[in-house]
Structure 1
């Protein structure tokens, strides 16, 4: 593992992190809700709207599994846009943020191990 101090992050990279986290938690939430519907036997009673059509049952459950990560991703993108400048101010006040991980890229050799 390598420790790196982040002093500045581009808004595009910040949005990638936010949206990636949002889609991940949305996928987990959608899968858990789908499994709970299966366990409780309520999948037949679930409904969803697909454009102007109303779908029920398994199709509605699968639509929920697919749509929840997209909605979480959109919410995370909005969160990223709103929170970027306060986060940059936080980085400036704290003189950076130390993160730890495995990094790749063109300047990877410059990072002390």
Structure 2
């Protein structure tokens, strides 16, 4: 694992991060909703609107399973657009944000790495 300090993010990168997180949460939420309907035996009575058609039963449950991540992704785009500038202000005030992970790219060698001892000072 490598630790890097993020001092600035392009808005496109910030939006990719927000959408990735939003869709991941949406998949989890959609799956939980689908399983709850299945366990409670109400999947056969569920309803959903697909444009102007009303869909019932299993198809409605599957549509919900697929649409919830999409809606979370759209919400994450809106969230990202609204909160990009406050996040950049936060990065500026904190003089960056240290993240840990595995990184690759064309400029990977140029990424300054921070030692663990640097972060454990009090």
TM range (shorter): over 0.9
Alignment partner, residue 101 of structure 1: 101
Displacement after TM superposition at 1:5 (Å): 0.2
Task: Name the CA distance, whole Å, in 2 between partners of 1:52 and 1:79.
Answer: 28
Alignment partner, residue 80 of structure 2: 80
Alignment partner, residue 21 of structure 2: 21
1:37-89 per-residue CA deviation (whole Å, 9 max, x = no partner) reads 11110001100011111000000000000000010001111000000000000
5+ long unaligned stretches in structure 2:
115-122
Task: Name the CA distance, whole Å, in 1 between partners of 2:26 and 2:9.
Answer: 24
Task: Name the CA distance, whole Å, in 2 between partners of 1:79 and 1:44.
Answer: 34
Which structure 2 residues correspond to residues 40-59 of structure 1 after superposition, within 5 A?
40-59=40-59
Task: Name the CA distance, whole Å, in 2 between partners of 1:21 and 1:107.
Answer: 25
Displacement after TM superposition at 1:109 (Å): 1.8
Alignment partner, residue 70 of structure 1: 70
Alignment partner, residue 119 of structure 2: none
Alignment partner, residue 32 of structure 1: 32
Task: Name the CA distance, whole Å, in 1 between partners of 2:110 and 2:50.
Answer: 51
Displacement after TM superposition at 1:110 (Å): 2.4
Question: Alignment RMSD, CA only?
Answer: 1.0
Alignment partner, residue 11 of structure 2: 11
Structure 1 runs (4+) deviating above 2 angstroms are 110-113
Task: Name the CA distance, whole Å, in 2 between partners of 1:7 and 1:23.
Answer: 25
5+ long unaligned stretches in structure 1:
none
